[in-house]
Amino acid sequence: MKIVHKGFAEYQPTFEAMKVFNAERGEDTEDELWVVEHPPVFTQGLAGKPEHLLIRDDIPVVQIDRGGQITYHGPGQLVVYTMIDFKRRRQSVRQIVSALENSIIATLAEYGIEAAADPQRPGVYVGERKIASLGLRIKGGSVYHGLALNVDMDLSPFTHINPCGYAGMEMTQIADYVRPCPTLNEVADKLTAHLSAQLNPKETQA
């Protein structure tokens, strides 16, 4: 699995690149994890309802093709896009989602943060507060989009929406629990290592 660091990148071109990568990949294309940080943007999923955008401001809203409702990406948030072959892995969607959640939980545990998944709501939570969001798209036997982990960011734009469609959902981040807060690159190295282990296709083939 190849780790690709995209740096600080606008959302729309990254989204278009994901679709192109997915459309052009073949049976032997190596899976990739794209590590990126975005400028402020709201992304609205396929089932997204406009009423979940509570306050219209100057942050752009981009309609995209993943599942789920509206969420926010911004500086200080670690985003990892999982460009993986779904057919080759012989895993269910639930297994892939669990792999992403478990990788985030293991990463947070390295910083002494006790987090958990919620079977009723996608994502990872510290108590009742959400620290990471998930959203996937499966097309042509492959997976794209991925996860967003709040590291050290301005959380206030989340109050402009019902995060992932949940009214009153309180968000949190690594910086609320760890000082000095680790850098985005440090967290990315830990998280991608866990993801590579959890998503290793050699362990999923019969």
68-82 pLDDT, tens per residue?
788 999 999 999 999
pTM: 0.92
What torsion, rounded to 10 degrees, do the Cα atoms 36, 37, 38, 43 define?
A: 70
* Active-site residue (options: 83, 100, 149, 164): 164
What are the tens digits of pLDDT across the range 161-194? 887 777 778 999 999 999 999 999 999 999 999 9
pLDDT band at 206 (very low <50, low <70, confident <90, very high): very low
What are the tens digits of pLDDT across the range 36-68? 999 999 998 887 777 888 888 889 998 888 877
pLDDT above 70 as % of the chain:
97
pLDDT band at 7 (very low <50, low <70, confident <90, very high): very high
- Residue 132 assigned ligand-binding role: no
pLDDT attached to residue 201: 53
Question: Is the confidence at residue 204, as pLDDT, over 70?
Answer: no
Q: How far apart are CA 25 and CA 99, in angstroms?
A: 22
- Residue 165 assigned ligand-binding role: no
- Residue 70 assigned ligand-binding role: yes
- Residue 48 assigned ligand-binding role: no
Q: Considering the domain delimited by 2-203, tell me its CATH architecture.
A: 2-Layer Sandwich (3.30)
Quote the mean pLDDT of the chain: 90
What torsion, rounded to 10 degrees, do the Cα atoms 61, 96, 119, 189 define?
A: -70
Question: Is the confidence at residue 124, as pLDDT, over 90?
Answer: yes
Q: How far apart are CA 176 and CA 194, in angstroms?
A: 22
Say whether 181 is catalytic. Answer: no
pLDDT attached to residue 49: 79
- Residue 69 assigned ligand-binding role: yes
- Residue 148 assigned ligand-binding role: yes
What is the DSSP secondary-structure string of 137-154? EEETTEEEEEEEEE-S--
Question: Is the confidence at residue 160, as pLDDT, over 60?
Answer: yes
Range 6-31 average pLDDT? 93
